Structure 1
Amino acid sequence: MTSTLQAPVGRDPRPAWRRGVGPATVAAAAAAAVALVGTVDPNQAGHYPTCPFLAVTGLYCPGCGSLRMVHALAHGDPATMVARNPLGVVALVVLAATWLRWTRRAVTGGVRTRVAPAWLIWTALGVVVAFWVLRNVPATAWLAP
């Protein structure tokens, strides 16, 4: 007996309020996280734990500076956001666009018909690894948080 997976066709039959629960929950959680980091300053020692990778190796990871970037976001300071973690700013834009597509699909009742192609996932991984290396090279020290 073989089973085949078929691509979803048509519309999501759930009521509109039920389809919107996921995007609304993610938006509420993101807003709460930004509010918390905006209130509790990560620039002051003792509020958040140190990056484990930085503590062990002395090198910056791709996420180093992200809390300070989100703090700058909460205070409407785009220049500081880019200075703290430029790749994080790009990731925020991509996440926001993805969330908007998800919300539109939920509101209209559409179903997800495609996934990210493998080349895109591998490219994203390559960009993260390149950023990780470059922010620890003295010649590109401007990428460090």
Structure 2
Amino acid sequence: MPDVNADSGTTGTHPPGTVRTRLAAPVSVLAAVAAAFAYVGAVDPNEPGHYPVCPLLRTTGLYCPGCGGLRSAHAFVHGDLLTALHANAVAVAGYLVLALVWTVWVVRAVRGRPLRIDLRPAPLWTLGALLLVFTVVRNLPFGGWLHP
């Protein structure tokens, strides 16, 4: 008798759909992200007029957690990791986390298992607190090294 997969209700030897079908979504997401990074890599955010200015920075002069994200992506695409970290360290960490999640998604898709991300409230609150600390520190005088 074949083993039943508890995740999908299918047999362990015949997951639903073909590998090609199961990889359609992760490959499409990769294509979209690659296109976005290619665009940011080609159109320099350091040149004025190409991208809108952060509304928080424009109105208050304060850096939000996303400020410098496009400059960070531009530097990242060009292989300049130090400049990318200086522009927005949180963004670089986000690129790496998303690459890891995407890799897990692909492996699970090949095996016929769905990607399940079940974040409990504690990790979400922790992430929010870390972003808040990052935002506050980058706007204080001693956090100047975190300015984009």
Same fold (TM over 0.5): yes
Choose from 75, 79, 87 the match for 2:78.
Answer: 75
Query: Is the CA contact 1:10–1:111 (under 8 Å) kept in the aligned structure 2?
Result: no
Residue type of the partner of 1:71?
Answer: H
Partner of 2:69: 66
Structure 1 residue 50: Cα displacement: 0.6
Query: Is the CA contact 2:7–2:113 (under 8 Å) kept in the aligned structure 1?
Result: no
- Give a deviation string over 1:2-50, Cα, whole Å, max 9, x none: xxxxx83455512221111111011001110111011111101011111
Q: Are 1:37 and 2:40 matched, yes or no?
A: yes
- Unaligned 5+ segments in structure 2 are 1-5
Partner of 2:109: 106
Question: The residue matched to 2:84 in structure 1 has which SS?
Answer: helix
TM-score scaled to structure 1, two decimals? Answer: 0.89
Partner of 1:133: 136
Structure 1 distance, partners of 2:116, 2:132, is: 30
Q: Are 1:88 and 2:91 matched, yes or no?
A: yes
Structure 1 residue 74: Cα displacement: 1.3
TM-score scaled to structure 2, two decimals? Answer: 0.87
Identity among equivalent positions (%) equals 45
Q: Are 1:52 and 2:77 matched, yes or no?
A: no
Structure 1 distance, partners of 2:42, 2:144, is: 29
- Unaligned 5+ segments in structure 1 are 1-6
Structure 1 distance, partners of 2:117, 2:30, is: 23
Structure 1 distance, partners of 2:90, 2:114, is: 30
Structure 2 distance, partners of 1:82, 1:111, is: 33
Partner of 1:115: 118
Q: Could you list the runs of 4 or more consecutive aligned residues of structure 1 that deviate by over 2 angstroms after TM superposition? A: 7-12, 111-114
Query: Is the CA contact 1:34–1:70 (under 8 Å) kept in the aligned structure 2?
Result: yes
Structure 2 distance, partners of 1:27, 1:72, is: 19
Count of aligned positions = 139
Greater RCO, 1 or 2 (C-alpha within 8 Å, sep 6+)? 1
Query: Is the CA contact 2:109–2:115 (under 8 Å) kept in the aligned structure 1?
Result: no
CA RMSD across the alignment: 1.6
